[in-house]
Structure 1
Amino acid sequence: MTGMPTAPYQQFAREKLGFEFVNLDLLITALTHRSYVNEHRKSVSDHNERLEFLGDAVLELSVTNYLFRNYDEPEGILTSWRAALVRTESIGDAGQKLGYEPLVRMSRGEKQGGERARLQILANAFEALIGAIYLERGYDEADAFIGRHIVSKLDNILKEGSWRDPKSHLQEVMQRIDGHTPRYVVLEEVGPDHDKIFTLGVYSGERLVSRGTGPSKQAAQQEAAKAALQLYRD
C-alpha cells in the first residue's frame, strides 16, 4: 500500500474499533472496492471480496450463536430474527454510523452511483471489515464488534416487529380490522432506468392507507406496508 496516506485508516481503527492494526493492509483492503482495483491495476491488486466472504461467515456464526444461547424460540423465528439483523439495510446502516465511507476506495463511477449501490458497498465493506478484524485480532474481538454494531439492534427489531415480512403482516392486520386484502398501486416512477425510484400506494378497498418509496417496486411495497402497519398500531 505504498504511495498512499495510511494515517486516516489507523486513526479510524483507534477511534472506532479501539485498537491499531498491526497489519494495516487488512483494513485498507477491507475498504477497497473491486472497481477501484480496476481503475488502478498498476498500483493496487487487492480488493475486499475475499474478506467480505470471510466476514459474512463470521457475522452469521456470531449472530446465530447469540440467538441460540439467549432465546428459546423455534428455528423458523430465530432464522427470521437473524435475517433482519444481517440484511443489507441493517449492516449498511451500521457501516454508515461507523463513518468509514470517506475511507472506502472505489471508482469514480461508483462514487456517482445511486443510494442503492452506495448502501450495498457500505454493507459489503462492513462484512469485509469483520473479516479483517477476525484475521487481525481473532474471533472474540470480531464477535464483540458484531455485538456492539449488529446484535444491539435486536431489541428495536423485536419492538417494531420489523423481523416479520411487512406485507404478510399487513395482510393479517388489514383483513382482521378492515376485512380487505392490501392492494398495491404504482403512483410514480422517477429517474433513469439504472437508478429508478418507485412510489407505491397500499389501499384498503378504495382507501389509500399509505405510500412507500424505494429503488424497486418490491422495495416500495415493503416501505408502504411498514408505513401502513405503523398507522394501524397508532
Structure 2
Amino acid sequence: MIEERIGYSFKNRELLKRALTHRSFVKDRKLSNEQLEFLGDAVLELAITEFLISNFPDIDEGKLSKIRAASVNTKTLAAIGRKLKLPEYILVGRSEQKEGIVNNDHIIENTFEAIVGAIYLDGGFEKAKRFVENMLGETVKKIVANGIIFDYKTYLQEITQKAFSCLPEYVIVKEEGEEHNKTFYCDVYINSVKYGSGCGKSKKEAEKNAAREAVKKLEKRDV
C-alpha cells in the first residue's frame, strides 16, 4: 500500500486519493492534485529550511538557499518518487496512461509535492515536516558533505539553449536603498518574453533569484 511506502496513515484518505489524481483523470480540476501540489511546494520549502537551520547552523543564508534549491529540484524529487513507486499509484486519463506520463519527472515531482500538501492538511506541519525529513534528510546531508550547489543560472541557460536555441537575457529593472545597502530587482527574458523576476542585495543575487523563478515556470510547462 502507498501509505506503508510513505510511512504515513491518513485519517482522511480522500486527501491521499486527490494527491494521486492528475488533472487528466477528472473533469473538475479542483478534484485533481494541482492545489495540493501548490500547497506542498510551500510546505516542502519551509520544512527543508527548518531542517537546514537546525542541522547546519554555521552555514550562511546564501549557501543554505543554494543547498535548499539543490535538495528540492525536479530530478531529486522525481528520484525519491520513483523509490516510493509513485508511478504505480498516479491516476491519469486513458490516453495519458497510454503515453506513459506517469513516468515523467515533472508528474512524479508534482505528485510528491501533492502528498506533502495532503499530509499537511491531514496531520499538520509537524507530520509533514517529519515526512519530508525522512524522505530528503540523507539527500540534504550528502549535498552539504559533497559541496553540491545547484546553480539556477547555469540550469536556465541549458534549458533555453535546448528548448529555444537562445540565451536568457537579464535586465536590472530597479535599484532601491542607500548606496551601501541597495536592493536590486531583475527580470529575465527568453526571446523577449519575461519568464521570471527576482531581487537581492547584489545584481548577481537578483539574477539568480530571477533564474530560479524562470526555471520553476518552465519546469511546470515541461519544456
Fold shared, TM-score > 0.5 on shorter chain: yes
Note the residue ranges of structure 2 that are not aligned, 5 or more in a row: 155-161, 163-223
What is the deviation of 1:53? 1.0
Give the TM-score of the pair, scaled to structure 2: 0.62
Letter in 1 for 2:21: T
The 8 Å contact of residues 6 and 84 in structure 2, kept in 1 or not, is answered as no
Question: How many residue pairs end up in the alignment?
Answer: 156
Letter in 2 for 1:51: L
2:2 counterpart residue number: 12
Q: State the Cα RMSD in Å.
A: 2.9
2:69 counterpart residue number: 83
In the alignment, the residues of structure 1 paired with residue 14 and residue 117 of structure 2 have an alpha-carbon distance, to the nearest angstrom, of 13
SS in 2 for 1:104: coil
Letter in 2 for 1:12: I
SS in 2 for 1:91: helix
Shift of the 83–113 alpha-carbon distance from structure 1 to 2, 3 Å rule, reads farther
Equivalences for 1:133-152 in 2 at 5 Å? 133-152=119-138
2:47 counterpart residue number: 62
Equivalences for 1:205-216 in 2 at 5 Å? none
The 8 Å contact of residues 90 and 102 in structure 2, kept in 1 or not, is answered as no
SS in 1 for 2:114: helix
**Residue 46 in 1 paired to residue 21 in 2?**
no
Percent identity of equivalent pairs? 40
SS in 2 for 1:150: helix
In the alignment, the residues of structure 2 paired with residue 150 and residue 143 of structure 1 have an alpha-carbon distance, to the nearest angstrom, of 10
Determine which structure has more spread, i.e. the larger CA radius of gyration: 1
1:120 counterpart residue number: 106
In the alignment, the residues of structure 2 paired with residue 18 and residue 164 of structure 1 have an alpha-carbon distance, to the nearest angstrom, of 29
Shift of the 80–129 alpha-carbon distance from structure 1 to 2, 3 Å rule, reads same
The 8 Å contact of residues 85 and 151 in structure 1, kept in 2 or not, is answered as no
Give the TM-score of the pair, scaled to structure 1: 0.59
Show CA shifts across 1:149-197 (max 9, x none).
11220222234433244997xxxxxxxxxxxxxxxxx9xxxxxxxxxxx
What is the deviation of 1:74? 1.8
1:110 counterpart residue number: 96
In the alignment, the residues of structure 1 paired with residue 102 and residue 19 of structure 2 have an alpha-carbon distance, to the nearest angstrom, of 20
Letter in 1 for 2:123: R
